[in-house]
Structure 1
Amino acid sequence: EGMPIVRLQRAFLGKWMSRIRGLFNIPTNIYRKTIDRAAGLIKEKFGKYYSGTPHHNIDSYLKTDYRNVVEKDFRNEILSTLINHLRSEHDIQRIVYLYYALVKKRGVLRYVSRKESCRIRLQKPDFMDYIMSYNPVLFCLNDTHRATDKDRERVKPFLEALFPEKSGYEL
């Protein structure tokens, strides 16, 4: 087909969740706000709202779509974020490129579960248990502010146990 697969996670209550949070003054983190901003920009410009969220793994993009988002369709919005040295609720989450591919019909939407794509937080005690439970195609070891140096030390032995043979890239 030649089109990227757009892997998203289903979002509970979709676009209504942000409205519910606002209605009841429930705090929303910056990450969620940047996703909402990306979805809002696509809705405003193209009339289509996507409620799926990033799957926390590798994504593929068409170079032309990426360029069109940055240089043409959302140029001013992207430029306004370049001055932010730290994350800001006014940033635009990278998912804007995937929503763009979908709205332009240059991406294939696939909702994923933990069997295809999962995030493993470093501070969790047993990485291998998580892998054995879900047997995911893709996984991300996510280093958060809650992870300690001791948690990080467990990554190399875990990966060596999971992948005892070196890949062609490591040889």
Structure 2
Amino acid sequence: MSEIIWPQGFVPGFTDNYCSNEVIIAGLATADIWPLLNTPSVWPSYYANSANIQFQDGQGPELREQIPFSFETFGFPVEARCVEHVAPIKGQPARLAWHGWAGEGDSRLDVHHAWLIEDLSGDRVRILTQETQNGLPAIELAKTQPNPMINGHQDWLQGLVAAALKTKGEKS
């Protein structure tokens, strides 16, 4: 199976916090997942921990590499820039990643949030999301139990799958 491509400074094990969530589900394909993930304005419809998605410079509504956007998550505003965007191509995993940041000085948090979606044998799809974080807030998040990042991203995955199944059912 494929893995996330990490930029320098965000490799797991060398950052202040890291989380990984994954699902493999039958009956869906990358093409079912991609539109729901690549269109941030749709996120709040299936992931309650996202809000106020905005694109800068009149761009959007879909992500593309180097597009800046912002959103709210975990109760604070995040500025972001899409840094990896590989749309679904038969036989290759789709990839989406952004660098996000919030706060200033000692309260600054920098993250790399990546998604990998790939079709597997037996009419299954694998959805992997991983995030690394740097900064004092990340150090505190890493100590928090239960882990809000693991739990939040699992909610995102479950909501994404439910939305894809619903959309696919409506098209059938």
**When the two structures are superposed, what TM-score results if normalisation uses the length of structure 1?**
0.28
**More helix as a share of residues:** 1
**When the two structures are superposed, what TM-score results if normalisation uses the length of structure 2?**
0.28
Larger Rg: 1
